Amino acid sequence: MHTPQSDIKVKLKKVTSFVESLNRSQQLYLLGTGCLILFFVSLLTPFKQWSVGNIQVALFLYGCAIVTDLSKLYKKIWSTILGKAFIYIIFALCTNLSLGIANQIVNNALSAPPSNFIYTTSLISILQIPLLVSFGFFVMYFLLLLLAPLYFMHLLVVKDFDENFILKKLIPNEEIKFRITTFVVRVIVFCVVSGFVYSSMFKIGDKYEEKLTYIAQKFAYNFEFYKKSYCSTEDGEKIAHITNDIILVGREKNDGQYTFQYSTCAPSLNSKH
């Protein structure tokens, strides 16, 4: 005897089995799409205040799905010798780019050679990661636009993915359901998320650079400038040695800003200890 409750249980079981048949990234894409649908539905209801939360959750789920896909791609590339070499080269390029930008920021913040402030330079290079990530999304966005049509044609033309001996070594082979649908969703979501990340960082780029400049000044003043030295100093001053005779004098103003000025070291036998 069929009852409404039994029908609901059967439908829920079908939905549960369908979701369980998907891999992790597909499940995240599905949940993200569900939140996106709720976002548009909430705009037509009196509960518009929930719409922002829905779009934020959708972006978070889509971001998790992209990270999952990229981690699979990373493992695929890392599994080959050429892939390891490629990753090492990218890592070296990003490290040098980050250090180069950090040197410029430290030099602009302190008006001093960054080689004298290695700890500040290291900190600023680490804080460059969001900029590098946004730039990486920008590069991958254009690569995706170039390679996505080729991969999509491959999915449509080649019936058995394993028989293509050229592409099977270059493109991750996944035994998943709804391969074409998943690919289309991935392309759309990645383009939207990467565009959102890059545009957001582009808008706050100047403010972020100003913040890094202030962080460089504050960190250097507190950790790489010293109150006690054989050079004579005044109250409220801290110094950093540039050479044996030249010092950089730092002062913290009442508004929390910092000023730095070069001076000649005047040795004093009565300096404070």
Q: Are residues 35 and 97 in the same domain?
A: no
Q: Are residues 84 and 216 in the same domain?
A: yes
DSSP per-residue codes, 48-106: GGGHHHHHHHHHHHHHHHHHHHHHHHHHHHHTSHHHHHHHHHHHHHHHHHHHHHHHHHH
Instruction: Count the domains in the chain.
Output: 3
What one-letter code names the amino acid at 133?
Answer: V
Give the residue numbers spanning the domain of 194.
Answer: 80-224
Q: pLDDT tens, position by position, for the chain (273 residues)?
A: 556 666 677 777 887 888 788 888 888 998 998 888 888 888 777 767 767 778 888 889 998 999 998 898 899 889 889 989 999 999 999 999 999 999 999 999 999 999 999 999 999 999 998 888 888 888 888 888 787 777 667 666 655 555 555 555 555 555 677 877 888 888 888 888 888 887 888 788 788 889 999 999 999 999 999 988 888 888 888 999 998 889 999 999 888 899 999 999 888 755 544
Q: Are residues 173 and 69 in the same domain?
A: no
Q: Are residues 119 and 178 in the same domain?
A: yes
pLDDT in tens, 106-161: 999 999 999 999 999 999 999 998 888 888 888 888 888 787 777 667 666 655 55
Q: Are residues 149 and 183 in the same domain?
A: yes
Which strands, in side-by-side order, build the sheet including 237-241?
Answer: 237-241, 246-252, 258-264
97 is a domain residue: yes
Q: Are residues 95 and 177 in the same domain?
A: yes
Q: Are residues 258 and 197 in the same domain?
A: no
10 is a domain residue: no
